[in-house]
Chains A and B, each alone.
Chain A
Amino acid sequence: MMPSEHSGISLRDTAPPPSLGAVGELEALRRSFETLHRRFQLSVAALILLLAALNVYLLNQVRTVHRRAAVLAQQITEMRQAVANYEAKSVPWMDKFSGQLEGFAKTHPDFAQVLDRYRRPGETNQAQRAKAGGAARR
Chain B
Amino acid sequence: MLKPSSVTGLLVLLLLASVLVSMALCYRYVRSVNGAQLLEDQAAHLQAQVNLANRYTAIVEAMAKDAVDYSKRNPAIDPILQQFDLKPKPGARAGGR
Among A2-10, A21-29, A109-117, which stretch is in contact with chain B?
A109-117
Q: Tell which of A62, A69, A96, A118 touches B39, judged by Cβ atoms closer than 8 Å.
A: A69
Within 8 A of B (CB), among A61-75: 61-62, 65-66, 68-69, 72-73, 75
Evaluate contact between A98 and B46: CB separation under 8 angstroms: no
A125 close to B (CB within 8 Å): yes
Complex contacts, B19 vs chain A, CB 8 Å = 51
Complex contacts, A12 vs chain B, CB 8 Å = none
Evaluate contact between A132 and B74: CB separation under 8 angstroms: no
Binding site secondary structure of chain A: helix
A138 close to B (CB within 8 Å): yes
Please measure, in the bound complex, the distance between the C-alpha atom of A90 and the C-alpha atom of B50, giving whole angstroms. Answer: 12
Complex contacts, B70 vs chain A, CB 8 Å = 110-111, 114
Complex contacts, B35 vs chain A, CB 8 Å = 65, 69
Evaluate contact between B36 and A94: CB separation under 8 angstroms: no
The A/B interface has a contact count, at CB < 8 Å, of 133
Evaluate contact between B76 and A79: CB separation under 8 angstroms: no
**Chain A residues packing against B (C-beta within 8 Å):** 37, 40-41, 44-45, 47-48, 51-52, 54-55, 58-59, 61-62, 65-66, 68-69, 72-73, 75-76, 79-80, 82-83, 86, 90, 93-94, 96-98, 100-101, 104, 108, 110-111, 114-115, 117-118, 125, 128-129, 132, 135-136, 138
**Smallest Cβ-Cβ distance to A58: which chain B residue:** B25
Measured between C-beta atoms, what is the minimum distance from A63 to chain B in Å? 9
Complex contacts, B18 vs chain A, CB 8 Å = 47-48, 51-52, 55
Complex contacts, A108 vs chain B, CB 8 Å = 74, 76-77
Q: Give 13 new A-B contacts, CB below 8 A, not counting A44-B11, A86-B53.
A: A40-B8, A44-B8, A51-B15, A51-B19, A51-B22, A72-B42, A90-B53, A94-B57, A94-B60, A111-B77, A114-B70, A125-B63, A132-B56
